[in-house]
Amino acid sequence: MHLFQEENPRRGRIEVICGSMFSGKTEELIRRLKRARIARQKVEIYKPAIDTRYSDEDVVSHDSNSVASTPVESSAGILLLSEQAEVVGIDEAQFFDDGLVEVCTQLANRGKRVIVAGLDMDFKGIPFGPMPALCSVAESVTKVHAICVRCGELAYVSHRKVEGDRRVMLGEHAEYEPLCRNCYNKAKAEAAEKA
């Protein structure tokens, strides 16, 4: 252990930012990455190649703040591309394969600060992709909340307003709305009555 500390004086860690859509996850990720750059740390940012909502390459928040990123097809690409980084940012982590957990663990073990943002649940309220496991292995987890558009309470889930059962459906306000648990259960009951 003593030898490892001398070879790699940086202490790696994993930070997870999670919550529903419209809760400020990407905004918080961008804020942390900008602060790391101000501290003159070498920062690299990655996002899944399938996320092209606002930009093919940049990570962009709903408030239109952005930071340049590298789109990758799989989590293995992050490991290959981030050798020189001190801080690794990963957005929309729920869209990555389950190998992301091991990738983040390896990066942290190499002394890198890994900051991951993503949806913790899908539109049905089911834990999404590698996010639950990432929350388990992270040193810190920040859960951010949107506001329920129906009652003003803290949102619990991203409710899908359009037809479709595919788990991954890219969208924004026209397709999704943040709802608290109570309003989400009412919306599900209303949909079941219509069916």
Q: Which has more pLDDT, 59 or 192? A: 192
E strands, the chain, are 13-19, 43-48, 59-60, 66-67, 70-72, 87-90, 113-119, 140-144, 157-160, 176-179
Task: State the CATH architecture for 2-145.
Answer: 3-Layer(aba) Sandwich (3.40)
Amino acid letter for position 17 = I
Name the nearest CA neighbour of 66 among 53, 50, 79, 83: 53
Burial (Cβ within 10 Å: 0-12, 13-18, ≥19) of residue 154: middle
Q: pLDDT for 10-51, tens place per residue?
A: 789 999 999 999 999 999 999 999 999 999 999 999 999 876
* pLDDT at residue 50, as a whole number: 78
* pLDDT at residue 161, as a whole number: 86
pTM for the complete prediction? 0.86
Q: pLDDT for 93-149, tens place per residue?
A: 999 999 999 999 999 999 999 999 999 999 999 999 999 999 999 999 999 999 999
Write the DSSP string, 72-90.
Answer: ESSHHHHHHH-TT-SEEEE
Write the DSSP string, 131-153.
Answer: HHHHHHH-SEEEEE--B-TTTSS
Q: Which residues contact 154 (CB under 8 A, 6 or more apart)?
A: 145, 146, 147, 148, 180
- What count of residues does the chain have? 195
Whether 152 shows a pLDDT value over 60: the answer reads yes
Question: Which are the catalytic amino acids?
Answer: 92
Q: Which residues contact 31 (CB under 8 A, 6 or more apart)?
A: none
